[in-house]
Structure 1
Amino acid sequence: MRTPDVSSLLADIEALVCCESPSKDHDALTHSAAAVAAVGRRLLGADPEYLVTDGCTHLRWRFGDGPPRVLLLGHHDTVWPVGSLRTHPYSVRDGVLRGPGCFDMKAGIVMALHAAAALPQREGLAILITGDEEIGSPRSRPLIEEEARSCDAVFVLEASAEGGGLKCRRKGASLYRIEVEGRAAHSGLEPDKGVNAGVEIAHQILTVAGLADAALGTTVVPTVLSAGTTANTVPAAAQVAVDVRAWDQAEQERVDRALRALRPALPGARVHITGGINRPPLDSAASSELFALADSLTPDLGFGPLIAAAVGGASDGNFTAGLGIPTLDGLGAVGGGAHADDEHVVVAELPQRTALLTALAQAVLARRTSENDDERAGSASHP
């Protein structure tokens, strides 16, 4: 199988990295989608469908007349705000590529498009590139699940785990917001007439943090916190975001029940809970067969063996695995520093990882074609 040209991969990655695309900036996402579409059009000879949901732009390619059998899944939004290129410019030095969103996951998009272009036939292939993964995929989840339902395999182009590992198991993710209503008062003249929302949210944070279970790998982390208005006013309102990760659904449900049962600690305070379970766990049962297939292909590609990794982060692959669809994640770039100042991609790994994706898609598509041929042969022999 032909190994993709590194210079071509790098040129396309540069085009996408230099088109900034924070999740909540719909204008930026529109420009980013056009950049992705241009790369895909050149490589695949086909325009994508533009799927716009509540102003957020996603892209989809489908090949063949029937339902898709293999889905290449990625996202073009990033956590980096517009202007990040000024402080984190695109660069390639000493075999390392840098730039905002390069590892998570602009390189993965380019790898998917190059892998699809190298397939001898694309009948049954679909490519879906969404625009809101970094904020929990609130608009794209129905699109992802619709596209995956008929598939024999979903290959997720999220970046690899440490050491290039494929992500064969992921924690489920739940996202919440706890809002507290108190009562304002002058903090010097009559603080006793107020209900301090800041103190109440502190009680809630300690309770919430206690829901974690280290033995089971369940994390419950209060994150973004705000309270009050001025330094001399008893806070009338406060809020905190809570990030929950768990290896199994029972733990997600336990924490969910506990959060919804929270009650105020201070007389006169009110507590409101919003959010819930966002992504189910990606269990190793969903990925084991595809991982074995990938590992069997590496000797012919000149590398291996592969590493199977379990990670705390969630992805859109959690949705497809939750449907019972075989899903293999972490097939994108090798590198590190996702969401951080040292985000980077190891250039030397790009061609062989792209070739692996092509081989995987080809193997699954060929297996379906062979099964259909056998069915037709059986029907012909039994008129």
Structure 2
Amino acid sequence: MAELLDDVEALVTCESPSEDLEAVAASADVVARVGEKRLGVEPERVGAVDLRWKFGDGPTKVLLLCHHDTVWPLGTLARKPFSVEDGVLRGPGCFDMKAGLVMALHAVAGLEDRSGVTLLVTGDEEIGSLNSRALIEEEARGALAALVFEASADGGALKVERKGVSLYRVRVVGKAAHAGLEPERGINATVELAHQVLVVNGLGDPALGTTVTPTVLSSGTTGNTVPAAGEFSVDVRARTVAEQLRVDAALHALTPVVPGARVEVVGQPNRPPLMAEASAALFERAVAVAASLGLPPLAGVAVGGGSDGNFTAGVGTPTLDGLGAVGGGAHAEHEHVLVDELPSRTALVAALVSDLLA
């Protein structure tokens, strides 16, 4: 327990917001140092922020997948310092997912035979894994299993299904004019955006679990000018590729309502769905392993959030997600980890990897 907590503290106290490359590179140095201490070997550096430990001369059989970047900006640690009190660990990024990364390191360290194991730690998951996606898919192809150390769902449940994620920006181009003197000479981008927001908001399908959510919106320059341009972001979540493609086609087919306005749509599916069949067999094995260790029964749930497990499932690799820390508050002020769950959860992962290798 002491070593687990020391390592989590080392990672949490090195802040690593995804878009700050210097900070994430510094975090990669800390992960490399902690990993070398536990595993006895240095990682391979893949670029400035990604790390890979590959054991054995043959192909990867079991891929352990983690990330060390977080959503928290620099300075968060000053107001949310690392702490362990009354069995609860706190600090920015502790639950998502630095504690899970430490668990992965300790699980691999405890294996008698590591041959066939690859531990991949990336640094851009929270902003869509645009740079690391090809590396993740390359490592996953042909593997028996991908185990993802994202934080657990409520109560420690594993994540057996994830929706696919698509991200878009809908941009409107109009024409500026003085809002008081001659508004009729303008083409109001805000009005066009209002029409488009309502159309986009109606593209979801609750019966199929498809959500299409307009999010950040901006338009115009001054309060007395007809807006010449504006845009809004769209977050799409879908359980199937077919639904992703349906919404993608509908978004790219948007047409303007205000005469003279122009609508431009940029974006595409970012992560394919992690469908239940990709995790079913692995979940059954995990349940059996937990029972053999005398641990409480495992639960599996479907969630809307995406992870790098979507990519591994997308290339056909059986994938089990949510194997990381038990706690709550991912991306929220109350982010925390339940300390007592760390050793047993790490033992579960180590036993599951051994079972898969066997």
- TM-score, L = length of structure 2: 0.99
- Give, in whole Å, the separation in 2 of the partners of 1:301 and 1:104: 26
- Give, in whole Å, the separation in 1 of the partners of 2:286 and 2:86: 29
The Cα shift of 1:300 comes to: 2.9
1:220 alignment partner, one of 201, 212, 226: 212
- SS where residue 340 of structure 2 aligns? helix
**Structure 1 equivalent of residue 22 of structure 2:** 27
The Cα shift of 1:228 comes to: 1.0
1:51 alignment partner, one of 42, 46, 51: 46
Instruction: Give yes or no for contact 1:171–1:248 (8 Å, CA) kept in 2.
Output: yes
Instruction: Give yes or no for contact 1:69–1:153 (8 Å, CA) kept in 2.
Output: yes
**Structure 2 equivalent of residue 12 of structure 1:** 7
The Cα shift of 1:59 comes to: 0.6
- Give, in whole Å, the separation in 1 of the partners of 2:283 and 2:6: 30
Kindly tell me the number of residue pairs found equivalent between the two proteins: 358
The Cα shift of 1:150 comes to: 2.4
- Give, in whole Å, the separation in 1 of the partners of 2:145 and 2:206: 33
Of the structure 1 ranges 190-199 and 154-163, higher mean CA displacement relative to structure 2 is found in: 190-199
- Give, in whole Å, the separation in 1 of the partners of 2:218 and 2:45: 38
2:32 alignment partner, one of 21, 34, 37: 37
What are the Cα deviations for residues 226-280 of structure 1, in whole angstroms up to 9, with x where unaligned? 1111111111111111000011111111111100100011111111111111111
**Structure 1 equivalent of residue 290 of structure 2:** 298
Deviant stretches of 4+, over 4 Å:
none
CA RMSD of aligned residues (A): 0.8
The Cα shift of 1:298 comes to: 1.1
Instruction: Give yes or no for contact 1:209–1:222 (8 Å, CA) kept in 2.
Output: yes
What are the Cα deviations for residues 3-25 of structure 1, in whole angstroms up to 9, with x where unaligned? xxx11111100110110111110
**Structure 1 equivalent of residue 158 of structure 2:** 166
- TM-score, L = length of structure 1: 0.92
**Structure 1 equivalent of residue 334 of structure 2:** 342
AA partner of residue 106 (structure 2)? H
Gaps of 5+ in 2: none
**Structure 2 equivalent of residue 95 of structure 1:** 87
**Structure 2 equivalent of residue 360 of structure 1:** 352
The Cα shift of 1:31 comes to: 0.3
The Cα shift of 1:216 comes to: 1.0
What are the Cα deviations for residues 355-381 of structure 1, in whole angstroms up to 9, with x where unaligned? 011011111112xxxxxxxxxxxxxxx
Instruction: Give yes or no for contact 1:295–1:304 (8 Å, CA) kept in 2.
Output: no
Gaps of 5+ in 1: 1-5, 367-383
Of the structure 1 ranges 341-350 and 185-194, higher mean CA displacement relative to structure 2 is found in: 185-194
- Is the counterpart of residue 311 in structure 1 residue 306 in structure 2? no
Q: How does 1:235-250 map to 2 (within 5 A)?
A: 235-250=227-242
What are the Cα deviations for residues 1-53 of structure 1, in whole angstroms up to 9, with x where unaligned? xxxxx11111100110110111110000110000100110000011111111x
- Is the counterpart of residue 321 in structure 1 residue 316 in structure 2? no
The Cα shift of 1:107 comes to: 0.5
- SS where residue 195 of structure 1 aligns? coil
- Give, in whole Å, the separation in 2 of the partners of 1:17 and 1:199: 45
- Give, in whole Å, the separation in 2 of the partners of 1:300 and 1:14: 31
**Structure 2 equivalent of residue 145 of structure 1:** 137
- Is the counterpart of residue 230 in structure 1 residue 225 in structure 2? no
Percent identity of paired positions between Structure 1 and Structure 2 = 64
Q: How does 1:155-304 map to 2 (within 5 A)?
A: 155-304=147-296
- Give, in whole Å, the separation in 2 of the partners of 1:281 and 1:343: 26
**Structure 2 equivalent of residue 379 of structure 1:** none
What are the Cα deviations for residues 79-135 of structure 1, in whole angstroms up to 9, with x where unaligned? 100111112111111111111111000001100000000000110110111111111
**Structure 1 equivalent of residue 324 of structure 2:** 332
Instruction: Give yes or no for contact 1:78–1:101 (8 Å, CA) kept in 2.
Output: yes
- Give, in whole Å, the separation in 2 of the partners of 1:150 and 1:212: 34
AA partner of residue 105 (structure 2)? L
The Cα shift of 1:75 comes to: 0.6
- Give, in whole Å, the separation in 2 of the partners of 1:199 and 1:182: 10
The Cα shift of 1:301 comes to: 2.1
The Cα shift of 1:186 comes to: 1.2
